[in-house]
Chains A and B, each alone.
Chain A
Amino acid sequence: MRVLHTWLQRYVPFTVPPAALADKLSMLGVEIEDVVDLGKRFEGFIVGKVIECVPHPNADRLSVCRVDIGKEILQIVCGAPNVSVGQKVAVGRVGATVPRNQHDPNGKPFVLSQVKIRGVESFGMICSAYELDIGNDADGILLLNKSTRIGQPVSVALGQNETLYDVEITANRPDLLSHIGVAREIGLVVGKKIARPLSRPRAGKTPISRFLSVRVLDKKNCLRFSARVIRGVKVGHSPDWLQKFLRNVGLRPRNNIVDVTNFVMYELGQPLHAFDHSLLQGKKLIIQQAKAGTHFQTLDGKDHELPPEAVMVCDAERPVSIAGIMGGENSEINEKTVDIVLESAYWNARNIRKTARMLGISSDASYRFERGTDPNGTVAALNRAASLILEIAGGELLHGTIDIYPRKVLPRKIPLRITRVNHVLGTRLPSSLVKKILKGLEIQVSAGKGGTFNCTIPTFRIDIEREIDLIEEVARIYGYDSIEEKGIASINLMQSFPTGHQSDPVRTSLVGAGFHETICNPMYDLARAKIVTREHIPIKNPQNKGMEVLRASLIPGLLDCVARNSNFGNRHVRLFEIGHIFEARQPLTDRQDLQSAVEEERVGIAITGRRSPRTWAEPERPVSLFDLKGELEALCVSLGLDKSKLIYYSTTESLTEQTLAIEINGTYAGYFGKAKTSLMALFDIEQEVYVGEMLISSLILSHERKYSPLPKYPAVQRDIAFVVSETVSADDLERCIRKSGTELLKKVELFDVYEGNELSGNQKSLAFTVTLLSGEKTLTDSEIEAEVRRITLGAERSLGATLRSS
């Protein structure tokens, strides 16, 4: 919200310069987003007097003027038809920036330079209202008041020596949405009380009751309705000061009646509405809920279908205004208006907010009402507006005020314990100081029992409801900077919280293995959702078409990363992401709770391109499924899992082919495979990518590690190469070896696979290293031979394996 420096000074005297004021207000919690010197755009423009004006020797439409600007006299070539000797004009000097160029279609600003126009030197420019950006008259130069002083800055002459503060109001402080409200805070800074613009407009003898009656049917939402009537006004342009005020706070002047209502809203914070009395049927206003489905034209010309929640101000026959939000076209002030009704009300904030949202309207009025206005400020605002209207537009104010206010809102009374203030803040503020602070806030304070203050809160401070709200006020006025800081002991609180995330070791391990961690947007499009065949959770109000559902897999995000990197020439990458995936147990409806959504932390991995960076020492090799399998196994081992506890089985997944599922200790832990070739077009990828996805919870089972004593005797290793039918899998043979061995057999590792000329067509050779170890003694050659024989015999019997002759 914008407030103006010179106007603030009318309500509270202060001399603090703008930048310092903004700073001080900020430290009170009133954030000043921006401080704008409105006079700055008139820098280089001064008031001058035309002392000579002769026709240009070489151009019919131009004049050559000599203009007195106080310290010097400038020669200026001017093209305006209305220029003549004796005029006071606005002169732009060489170097000044003209706010609008009337020869440019977009009116772009330009810098004045010294020029020769048809052979005559010109040292500046005499400006039009359009060029100064204070009006739309471009036909001739702007003529200033005869009494304007020569040499004065144009900003002063135009009353534009004003500073504007853009105030950011937090949701709890609607009382700051006015000049009076901001002035009150400035009063706290400079230690002065504010002066309200008191106004007791002179009323005539005709009672208001002869011209207007009001009935409130919706008592729940219309908490107070005040109105006055003025007859015989002359609708027209507002005086300069009012137009200037409105323009400076960012509003467009309309007519003197509407302008006054807007002015009072910016002055006191109370939104007002003016009706043309002659357009109100039956001389009455009825406040009631809208009939659902009714259409209504607001005064901005838009048509709205009214929701049943909307509260309407109606005349005898039809709605004339959406209460607290916007008036209707059917009863607005127009140039023929003679009699007016001024409305000043207090509405249920929640209802206004709800209705405004549903209608998609945010007006200055709804913005204030939905945050909360002062219920006891309606009549003062009404009177202020009435006296300004009488002054500006004339007319007769009818006797009396209609004021329907069934349940008067009384100031809240809140007890405040001084001990509690210091308990929460960690301070030792004396009660006298606390009292002084509260009084500065217009809070009445009386001493209660046992160090308690009974505080009476003015009704414009709707945010102060509890003791803690008062403590907050004390803290902010005392100053956060003045509260001494104290450290907390970093003791162990015996709390049951870990000092890290369960996924931390997974991340560390993968980074160590040469993977880049990625963070992808957890929302993707329907095309991706379609290929991840899960029950996706759609977003009701997506940001755009690319983010319509929550991801049910990390893999699409990783594939998009592969594509992006590949497009920029990095085709050999190893990526992972640790993040949540989301799935609906069944399509979500409005009645469901959190249980209907599955959310799970996973790690997704993708590898593509070369197995290792290109090097002179090794031939280049592309990654294969077994590289990914090996990485996943290494990850599990690094996390303390026993590799032999990993169980793989073939499965099908929508994103991958050659897919293996992984079980760890009997629980499903994830899957991996080659990203389906058929999907690569969607991601715009032309190379093979291997991807996998694991559940974090399955990787971090119990992280308890136990020591087992080191064997006292050396282990022995023997290589055994078997020839088997190609239908026998490595896994089959490994299991068979394990089964055939005794407790001496500790480890079985495949180290070679051979299919080729030395074997017959349907055979292959699988070579294993077996590790034998006894806890009791060093194994003898014959014991080792016996164990190897048991193993080979077992393999021969169960799988028809024979030893490969070397």
Chain B
Amino acid sequence: MDMKSKIDALLKEAETSLAQATSRESLEAFRIRFLARKGSVATLFDEMKTIAPEERPTVGKLLNSLRAQIQSSFDGKIKQFVQDHHHDKRIDLTLPGRSRFVGTKHPITQTADEIKSIFVSMGFGVADGPEIEDDYHNFEALNFPPDHPARDSQDTFFLSKNLLLRTHTTPVQIRVMEEHQPPVRVIMPGKVYRNEAISARSYCVFHQVDGLYVDEGVTFSELKGTMISFIKRFYGSSVRYKFRPTFFPFTEPSADIYISCFLCGGKGCRLCKQNGWLEILGCGMVDPNVFRSVGYDDEKYTGFAFGLGIERIALLRYGIDDIRLFYENDIRFLNQF
């Protein structure tokens, strides 16, 4: 191989090698291999001795140009490397991250989800029903006779003589039983409407969860057990509770469930209106008249039902003092949950 070919080959080799050298170490290795006193370029200069004297000026010129070229490429690379490296150090890692919007589930949904998940784990399914109901499903089938004073407790929005906005999620119980034979074990969350004056304590729209379990041999004792395990899972196992007899047209016997006030521990405070207890749930054994209206055998089957207001639970739980905040959807409020 003549000298010119060797020079061309070395240049090509150096270029490839330099291109691959990206670290401080590999750049140093490159310098030693090509540009050091015993490097490849120096070795070629040494070979000058072996060629004919008349060729030496030309080859010398080529060799000098080779050395200059490699040196300049190397210098350029070093300069770039130092610059890059220097630049790394100047990144201010304290700059904030590129943010994005963070969404939230409405606190009412969050509360409902939590209630749902507890009952689902106890073997309850989930069912839905319409918000526009007829008188039959909202009242009559639930053992509210026409012109009965029990209807007074449910200030109703009417759409026509027969149609209304459901005043509770209980009509879904009727719809579920109309469609399914026992056993039935289901919860029914949803929106309900009451024509009540709007204030910090009450709003004309709110949310309830109804529950229903019907089978052969379902007892009041099981109703108590189910409600207690819900209460303990939702409020913690140290919560105290009491079942108080009450009246609902669609259950008998019926009970209101109270828990010890979690703010004052039962000593009495503003939250519990000084009596130490908070009413959180209504429940009872399904009234035989309800079974009759859906065609269930009321001798063969027994069942229990319960209902709770989600707003009330959320208000108590988060210490919110105005129910209207739930429907204003101010993101300063929503972001707190």
A→B interface (CB under 8 Å)? 26-29, 31, 170-173, 350, 353-354, 370-371, 423-427, 466, 468-469, 471-472, 475-476, 480-481, 483-493, 495-501, 507, 510-523, 537-544, 547, 550, 561, 564-565, 568, 570, 573-575, 579-580, 582, 588-594, 597, 599, 612-613, 615-618
Instruction: List the one stretch of B3-11, B259-267, B326-334 in contact with chain A.
Output: B326-334
Q: Which residues of A contact B120 (CB under 8 A)?
A: 499-500
Q: Which residues of A contact B105 (CB under 8 A)?
A: 507, 511, 517
Q: Is the CB of B159 within 8 A of A597?
A: yes
Q: Is the CB of B132 within 8 A of A597?
A: yes
| Minimal Cβ-Cβ distance residue in A for B188 | A497
Q: Is the CB of A612 within 8 A of B99?
A: yes
Given contacts A519-B106, A521-B204, contact A486 B221 (CB under 8 A): yes
- Measured between C-beta atoms, what is the minimum distance from A696 to chain B in Å? 11
Q: Is the CB of A523 within 8 A of B130?
A: no
B95 CB within 8 Å of chain A: yes
Q: Which residues of B contact A501 (CB under 8 A)?
A: 126, 128, 189
Name the contact of B125 in the complex, choosing from A489, A499, A570, A588 (C-beta under 8 A): A499
Q: Which residues of A contact B244 (CB under 8 A)?
A: 26-27, 29, 31, 480
Cβ contacts A to B, 5 pairs, < 8 Å: A172-B247, A472-B245, A565-B329, A570-B332, A592-B162
- Measured between C-beta atoms, what is the minimum distance from B203 to chain A in Å? 8
- Measured between C-beta atoms, what is the minimum distance from B204 to chain A in Å? 5
- Measured between C-beta atoms, what is the minimum distance from B155 to chain A in Å? 9
| Minimal Cβ-Cβ distance residue in A for B146 | A350
B81 CB within 8 Å of chain A: no
Name the contact of B327 in the complex, choosing from A520, A539, A541, A543 (C-beta under 8 A): A520
Q: Is the CB of A497 within 8 A of B125?
A: yes
Q: Is the interface of A mostly helix, strand, loop or mixed?
A: loop
Name the contact of B160 in the complex, choosing from A512, A582, A590 (C-beta under 8 A): A590
B57 CB within 8 Å of chain A: no
Interface-centre pick from A541, A542, A589 (highest chain B CB count, 10 A)? A541
Encoded as 1 (CB less than 8 Å from any A CB) or 0, chain B from 293 to 337 comes to 000000000100000000000000000000000111111101100
Given contacts A480-B243, A487-B226, contact A171 B101 (CB under 8 A): no
Name the contact of A615 in the complex, choosing from B99, B127, B162, B330 (C-beta under 8 A): B99
B64 CB within 8 Å of chain A: no
Name the contact of A588 in the complex, choosing from B160, B285, B328, B334 (C-beta under 8 A): B160
Encoded as 1 (CB less than 8 Å from any A CB) or 0, chain B from 200 to 236 comes to 0000110000000101011111101110110000000
| Minimal Cβ-Cβ distance residue in A for B204 | A543
B49 CB within 8 Å of chain A: no
A469 vs B143: C-alpha distance when bound (angstroms): 14
Name the contact of A471 in the complex, choosing from B96, B224, B253 (C-beta under 8 A): B253
Given contacts A485-B228, A491-B123, A516-B103, contact A538 B217 (CB under 8 A): no
A469 vs B247: C-alpha distance when bound (angstroms): 11
- Measured between C-beta atoms, what is the minimum distance from B135 to chain A in Å? 10
Q: Is the CB of A173 within 8 A of B123?
A: no
B163 CB within 8 Å of chain A: yes
- Measured between C-beta atoms, what is the minimum distance from B199 to chain A in Å? 12
Q: Which residues of B contact A547 (CB under 8 A)?
A: 204
A425 vs B186: C-alpha distance when bound (angstroms): 21
Q: Is the CB of A486 within 8 A of B180?
A: no
Q: Is the CB of A561 within 8 A of B123?
A: no
Q: Is the CB of B329 within 8 A of A518?
A: yes
A550 vs B157: C-alpha distance when bound (angstroms): 11
A544 vs B98: C-alpha distance when bound (angstroms): 46
Q: Which residues of A contact B103 (CB under 8 A)?
A: 510-517, 574
Q: Is the CB of A599 within 8 A of B220?
A: no
A26 vs B229: C-alpha distance when bound (angstroms): 24
- Measured between C-beta atoms, what is the minimum distance from B147 to chain A in Å? 5
B165 CB within 8 Å of chain A: yes
- Measured between C-beta atoms, what is the minimum distance from A450 to chain B in Å? 15
Q: Is the CB of B157 within 8 A of A594?
A: no
B80 CB within 8 Å of chain A: no
Q: Which residues of A contact B165 (CB under 8 A)?
A: 539, 550
Name the contact of B245 in the complex, choosing from A475, A517, A615 (C-beta under 8 A): A475
Q: Which residues of A contact B146 (CB under 8 A)?
A: 350
Q: Which residues of B contact A483 (CB under 8 A)?
A: 220-221, 224
Q: Which residues of A contact B243 (CB under 8 A)?
A: 480-481
- Measured between C-beta atoms, what is the minimum distance from B146 to chain A in Å? 8
Q: Which residues of B contact A568 (CB under 8 A)?
A: 330, 332
- Given contact pairs A495-B180, A522-B191, a sample of 5 additional A-B residue pairs in the complex whose CB atoms are under 8 Å apart: A424-B302, A426-B221, A493-B183, A516-B104, A594-B132
| Minimal Cβ-Cβ distance residue in B for A496 | B180
- Measured between C-beta atoms, what is the minimum distance from A685 to chain B in Å? 15
| Minimal Cβ-Cβ distance residue in A for B205 | A521
Given contacts A485-B228, A501-B128, contact A492 B123 (CB under 8 A): yes
Q: Is the CB of A29 within 8 A of B106?
A: no
Q: Which residues of A contact B121 (CB under 8 A)?
A: 490
B158 CB within 8 Å of chain A: yes
A542 vs B226: C-alpha distance when bound (angstroms): 39
Given contacts A427-B221, A488-B222, A499-B125, contact A171 B330 (CB under 8 A): no
Interface-centre pick from A497, A589, A594 (highest chain B CB count, 10 A)? A497
B242 CB within 8 Å of chain A: yes
Q: Which residues of B contact A497 (CB under 8 A)?
A: 124-127, 185-186
Q: Which residues of A contact B204 (CB under 8 A)?
A: 521, 523, 543, 547
**Contact residues, B102-121 vs A (CB, 8 A):** 102-106, 108-109, 116, 120-121
Interface-centre pick from A485, A515, A593 (highest chain B CB count, 10 A)? A485
B150 CB within 8 Å of chain A: yes
Q: Is the CB of B221 within 8 A of A485?
A: yes
Q: Is the CB of B198 within 8 A of A543?
A: yes
Q: Which residues of B contact A544 (CB under 8 A)?
A: 198
- Measured between C-beta atoms, what is the minimum distance from A258 to chain B in Å? 26
Q: Which residues of B contact A511 (CB under 8 A)?
A: 103-105
Q: Is the CB of A522 within 8 A of B131?
A: yes
Q: Is the CB of B195 within 8 A of A543?
A: yes
Q: Is the CB of A475 within 8 A of B220?
A: yes
Name the contact of B247 in the complex, choosing from A173, A424, A491, A591 (C-beta under 8 A): A173
Q: Which residues of B contact A617 (CB under 8 A)?
A: 95, 98
Name the contact of B205 in the complex, choosing from A487, A522, A573, A615 (C-beta under 8 A): A522
A171 vs B218: C-alpha distance when bound (angstroms): 27
Name the contact of A490 in the complex, choosing from B122, B133, B287 (C-beta under 8 A): B122
| Minimal Cβ-Cβ distance residue in A for B298 | A468
B89 CB within 8 Å of chain A: no
- Measured between C-beta atoms, what is the minimum distance from A553 to chain B in Å? 15
- Measured between C-beta atoms, what is the minimum distance from A90 to chain B in Å? 30
B161 CB within 8 Å of chain A: yes
Q: Is the CB of B159 within 8 A of A495?
A: no
Q: Is the CB of B221 within 8 A of A613?
A: no
Q: Is the CB of A485 within 8 A of B252?
A: no
Q: Is the CB of B224 within 8 A of A423?
A: no
